[in-house]
Amino acid sequence: GDPLNLGNYTEEMRNKELNNGRMAMFATLGIVSAELYTGSTGAAQFAIAAPKASTKGASFCGASGKAGVASQTGCRAELLGRHAFELKSQPGASAPLGAFDPLKLSSTQERFDKFRTSEVKHGRVAMLAALGSIFQHFVHGPGAENVPNGLKAFQDPIGEKGVIVMTLACGFLELGPWADAFAKEPGNFGDPAGLGKDIGSYDDSMKTKELNNGRLAMLATMGVIAAELVTGDRVSDIPTNFGF
């Protein structure tokens, strides 16, 4: 109906309403996703400078007099400390891109730790996936001898059950012994495999190597999936071309 008696709900107006609604749905999803990933509210994402604190000594954050000035000084120090964070000094800042963060998602230590944790996890999974994509040519698990290689494994009944088991196992590790709260720093859970004596300490150089290999593995994994979807050729068939 026309409860406001505007009399202009024509077909053109309906198209405008639909298009604006579609744009609003995308915008809402973007705002929610950005807040989940960055921790900033929708309004804060458009802020170009930190709000200036009041310089009045009478009242500041519920305190008054010298206490208010001291609190204000503490807030300034905290703000300066956050601005002092330099992405280029962190492991993983490698040539030629250096500290690559065009969207400024890691402008503070807290946000950097969050994204670095995700990067390390995805990189490690991708490295295992890249290795497994070749390894499956030679070995299949017990009871999965007839499961096809590549993406077709996801359509096989036994392969589907394997995916469920793998997902539950990853969830147990993610929420249990390898939860973020137990990490000394992003991705650092000590040396559970005892490889430190062989590969050396987990210093900044080793972290950079791990990050770069993980980034390459993520790109490789996406390329393998895209190539199989487009051409139908499986990366697991590569050893066959070399006589294996």
**What pLDDT digit, counting tens, does each position of 154-197 carry?**
888 998 998 899 899 989 988 888 888 878 888 888 777 777 77
For range 79-88, the mean pLDDT: 60
Q: What is the pLDDT of residue 182?
A: 78
Q: How many CB atoms lie within 10 A of CB 106?
A: 20
**What pLDDT digit, counting tens, does each position of 1-46 carry?**
666 666 677 777 777 787 787 778 877 777 776 676 666 665 655 5
**8 Å CB contact between 210 and 123:** yes
CA separation, residue 38 to residues 85, 91, 173, 187, 232 (Å): 16, 20, 24, 19, 38
**What pLDDT digit, counting tens, does each position of 90-100 carry?**
888 888 888 88
Q: Give CA–CA dist 107/187, Å, rounded.
A: 19
